[in-house]
Amino acid sequence: SAVISQKPSRDICQRGTSLTIQCQVDSQVTMMFWYRQQPGQSLTLIATANQGSEATYESGFVIDKFPISRPNLTFSTLTVSNLSPEDSSIYLCSAGGKNYGYTFGSGTRLTVV
Amino acid sequence: QKEVEQNSGPLSVPEGAIASLNCTYSDRGSQSFFWYRQYSGKSPELIMSIYSNGDKEDGRFTAQLNKASQYVSLLIRDSQPSDSATYLCAVTGSQGNLIFGKGTKLSVKP
């Protein structure tokens, strides 16, 4: 299964700024996924990142707030823009497939002050 | 809206006992099912996948799938304190993503 390197592992950001999270996969994968996990909660899908096309966003998540790049089959970034305290959460990237399972990056813990 | 339901627990079992974790899902067309373990402050770790009806065993873990009842379970035999974690049930969604249940917190008491 794929190994995913995610960074930063944590950050403290000021309101109104942006944070970009990077994920690097050790093999080529068709789709990558970005999730948010709020404290004590389960994982919520933000968007699916496809190489060569626009990301597909879930209800409640918009491109202006969560722009995603997917320049090649091993890399993706998620930017959380115009930060507010409500964006404080853990953000996770994932890759894999339904036939062999999905792995996760180590997560990014974002605190907005 | 596809849903995955789990008892949030906490489920407490003594060391050496069998822990039984259950999950139901709403989409009858779901084909792939996964169990993840998540320690506090860590990302989810895949421990079992199951695709067809019946049981699948891997070491101390057994996953059980019943598509007619839309039910997936995970049994952990000889539970250890190190098994204390939140267990997340997940099924594949239409985008190829995972849809997660809220997780069951397991506590194994020495």
B58 class by beta-carbon count within 10 Å (0-12 exposed, 13-18 middle, 19+ buried) = exposed
Chain A residues in contact with B32 by the CB 8 A cut-off are: 98-99
Confidence class of residue A113 from pLDDT cuts 50, 70 and 90? very high
Among A9, A31, A42, the residue to mutate for chain B (most B Cβ within 10 A): A42
The verdict on A45 touching B (C-beta cutoff 8 Å) is yes
Between CA A3 and CA A6 the distance in angstroms is 10
| Ramachandran quadrant class, B83 (left: phi over 0; alpha: psi -120 to 50; beta: rest) | alpha
Would you call B26 an interface residue with chain A, using a CB distance cutoff of 8 Å?
A: no
Report helix, strand or coil for A2. coil
Do B98 and A45 make contact, defined as CB atoms within 8 angstroms? yes
Strands B85-92 and B98-100, by their bridges, are antiparallel
Angle at A69 between CA B41 and CA A96, to 5 degrees: 55
The pLDDT, as a whole number, for residue B97 is: 84
Q: What are phi and psi of B82, to 5 degrees?
A: -70, -10
Encode pLDDT of A50-107 as tens digits.
Answer: 888 889 999 999 999 999 999 999 999 999 999 999 999 999 999 988 777 899 999 9
Q: What is the pLDDT of residue A51?
A: 83
Chain A contact for B102 (CB, 8 A cutoff): yes
Residues in chain B with CB shorter than 8 Å from the CB of A103 are 46
- pLDDT score for B29: 86
Cβ separation B96–A98 shorter than 8 A = yes
pLDDT at B93: 83
Q: Are A45 and A37 in contact (CB under 8 A)?
A: no
Interchain pair B97, A45: CB under 8 A = yes
Instruction: For B6-63, write each residue's pLDDT tens digit.
Output: 988 899 999 999 999 999 999 888 889 999 999 999 999 999 999 999 999 999 999 9
B16's tokens:
């050496």
